[in-house]
Amino acid sequence: MIRIQPPLGESYTNASLDDLDARIGRARQRLGDSVLILGHHYQRDEVMKWADARGDSLALSRFASASDTAKYIVFCGVHFMAEAADIITRPDQQVILPDLNAGCSMADMADTEDVETAWNDFSQVADIDRIVPITYINSAASLKDFVGRHGGSVCTSSNARAVLSWALQLDRPAGPDRGRKVLFVPDQHLGRNTAYQLGYAATDMALYDPRMDYGGLDEQTIKERSILLWKGHCSVHQRFTVDQVNAFRQRNPEGIVVVHPECPHEVVELADAVGSTDFIIKTINEAAEGTAIAVGTEIHLVNRLANEYPEKKVESLDPLVCPCSTMFRIDPPHLCWILEGLVDGEVRNQITVDEDVADGARIALDRMLSIS
Ligand code: 13P
Ligand code: SF4
């Protein structure tokens, strides 16, 4: 999706970090409780230090909806997170994304029209009423709307297991009543890793490639497989490899490996722990002093953890740095530009989701919140 962020003026681009810090601090003070700054764990430190609340995507959605006083929610994260916040916050609250180009390449891999085409394909060969669409929160609001209107739910990396169990009715005894199947969009890895955790086998899953007719699948496969995975991925997490795990273990036989579930299954299988960004932080916090820990997630979070826990040996699983280039777009000049605009009474970069789209998306998000 193309969103255009106009270039900032020289008073922002030429300013030193110290100057920007002083200006952000002044604006922040003037705005007081009317502003809530949210920071996703992948944000750079120069931005993160201004966050009133830090978290993974689920926690940040909850902070946004729980805020009583904030009129402006400045979301230091990526576009889909700001959209989700707009959907679940009150109508009098305005959600702001400091740089409009901060998207998510994975979310962009699931175009809503392509998902509608897939749905149409499935309806021709399978009982569509028994397919439940699940979208990872890393998706456009229009896709969440589609999912909400078709009886499905959103999930995040911290509740994918609960949401998939709900969709597949795993609380019911096996038998004809249970035969529901799932379309999981857009991250094939989160879908596959969660399905394996629930006891499904590779032969229960199929990969739908939106660039091919019928997703590259035959009728039999669509009919028989329980879990239809969308061919999307995160370019940051897909880089982690089995060789990296083996190399770390060779150097650190007592060490532990903790990874995000957006990593490929072969890596997840070898890891000691797998979970959301919040889970990764908790795991490192609880590890014994001196433990060597290789982390398979975005480098800004890994570096922050390495600094915060110097008594543990925290390193990236990938020796070659892997930043999320879209998260990285949020920087002190953009944050300063947003806050100084608010001081002047100008709301810049507001993210609004049309009400007709927000209705279905809210159903899908509320379903997730009630399941988890
Ligand atoms: P979390 O929900 O774990 O914060 O992950 C969001 C994300 O974009 C990971 O790439
Ligand atoms: Fe999207 Fe990957 Fe960046 Fe997360 S790390 S925001 S999934 S591109």
Query: Residue with the nearest Cα to atom 3 of ligand 1?
Result: 276
Could you tell me the distance, in angstroms and rounded to a whole number, from the CA of residue 110 to the centre of ligand 2? 13
User: Residue 246: inside a domain, yes or no?
Assistant: yes
276 lines ligand 2 (CB under 6 A): no
**Bridge partners (DSSP) listed for residue 184:** 134, 229
pLDDT for 322 equals 72
For residue 32, report the distance from its CA to the centre of ligand 2, in Å: 31
Q: Does any domain span residue 357?
A: no
pLDDT for position 65: 78
Pocket test for ligand 1, best of 56, 109, 279 (most atoms within 8 A of CB): 56
Q: Are 187 and 251 contained in the same domain?
A: no
Residues 261 and 346 grouped into a single domain: no
- Paired strand residues for 257: 294
Same structural domain for residues 145 and 263?
Answer: no
**Number of structural domains the chain divides into:** 3
Judged by its nearest atom, the ligand closest to the C-alpha of residue 77 is 2
130 within domain boundaries: yes
Amino acid residing at 233: H
Dist. CA 288–CA 256, nearest whole Å: 11
Residue type, 294: A
180 shares its domain with 99: no
Q: Please tell me whether residues 331 and 288 are part of one structural domain.
A: no
Residue 76 and residue 129 in one domain: no
For atom 1 of ligand 1, the residue with the nearest CA is: 56
Question: Three-state SS for 40?
Answer: strand
Q: At 305, which helix (H) or strand (E)? A: helix 299-308
Quick check: is 3 in a domain?
no
User: What letter would DSSP give residue 350?
Assistant: B
> What are the respective helix, strand and coil percentages of the chain, to the nearest 5?
50, 15, 35
Q: Which of 41, 298, 301 maximizes ligand 2 atoms within 8 Å of its Cβ, making it the mutation to test the pocket? A: 298
Residue 132 belongs to some domain of the structure: yes
187 lines ligand 2 (CB under 6 A): no
Ranges of the chain with pLDDT below 50:
none
Tell me which residue of 209, 208, 221 sits closest to 125, measured CA to CA.
Answer: 221
Ligand 2 site-directed mutation target among 44, 60, 76, 105, most atoms within 8 Å of CB: 105
Measured CA to CA, the distance from residue 249 to residue 253 in angstroms comes to 5
Residues 203 and 135 in one domain: yes
Query: What was the pLDDT predicted at 79?
Result: 97
pLDDT of residue 178: 63
**Tens digits of residue pLDDT in 166-198:** 999 888 877 666 668 999 999 999 999 999 999
**Closest ligand 2 atom to Cα of 262:** 7
Residue whose CA is at the smallest distance from ligand 2 atom 2:
234
Q: Is the domain of 182 the same as that of 268?
A: no
- What are the C-alpha distances in Å from 46 to residues 33, 97, 227, 360? 21, 16, 41, 36
Query: Most distant CA pair in the chain: distance in Å?
Result: 66
Same domain membership, residue 246 and residue 229: no
Range of the domain at 83: 10-103+326-352
Together in a domain, 80 and 33: yes
How remote is the C-alpha of 309 from its chain's centroid? 25
Shared domain check, 115 and 96: no
Distance (angstroms) between ligand 2 centre and the Cα of 286 equals 26
- CA 288 to centroid of ligand 1, rounded, Å: 25
Last residue of a domain, one of 292, 316, 340: 316
Residue 166 in any domain: the answer is yes
249 part of a folded domain: yes
Q: Is 4 part of a structural domain of the chain?
A: no
Per-residue pLDDT of 38-71, as tens digits, reads 999 999 999 999 999 999 887 887 888 788 889 9
Last residue of a domain, one of 233, 264, 292: 233
Helices 141-149, 112-125: inter-axial angle, 10-degree rounding: 30
Q: How far does residue 52's CA lie from ligand 1's centre (Å)?
A: 19
Residues 152 and 221 in one domain: yes
CATH of the domain at 14: 3.40.50.10800
